[in-house]
Each structure stands twice: as C-alpha cells, then as structure tokens.
Amino acid sequence: MGNGEYAKQVDAYDPLGSIFLPRTNNPEAEFSVWQAQILLRRGIAAGASFEEQCRLQEQLDMARRHYMGAVALQEGEW
C-alpha cells in the first residue's frame, strides 16, 4: 500500500470533520478510538471538570496508541 493510499484510509473524518475514524482490520481498536473521542467531546460539552477532561483525554491517548500499534502490525512495521 502506497503512502497516499494509506493516508486516505487514516485521514477519514466524519461530516463535521472533527472525529477521527480509524480504518484497520482491528474493529476493537477502531471502536475504542471512536468511543474515546465521543466520550471526551461529551464530557467537554457537559462542562466536565478539568480533572475529568484530563482523564478522558488520557483514555483517548491510550486508545490511539493501541490503534497505531494495530496499524503498525498490519503494515508490518513492528
């Protein structure tokens, strides 16, 4: 897969252009990233405390690291 094709898959966004929708053969990793982004956005919209927003951001970061690991394994980089 060339870099351009990979970028098209990875850079898919929702109609609002704000939520990253990952594309891998690992549905669990994809859902985790999507779910973490939704939870963070809802927390911010609901006026979550700074600590809660930090916790939600940490969950999103962890899900993204897991997703990027899945992409690397799929691409044979690891």
Q: Which of 41, 19, 44, 46 is nearest to 30 (CA)?
A: 19
Domain locations along the chain = 3-75
| 7 HSE (CA, 13 A, CB side) | 3
The tens-digit pLDDT sequence of the chain (78 residues) is 443 443 344 444 433 445 555 566 667 777 777 788 888 888 888 888 888 888 888 888 888 787 777 667 666 654
How far apart are alpha carbons 39 and 30 in whole angstroms?
14
Question: What pLDDT does residue 39 have?
Answer: 83
Question: What pLDDT does residue 34 have?
Answer: 79
Question: What pLDDT does residue 6 have?
Answer: 38
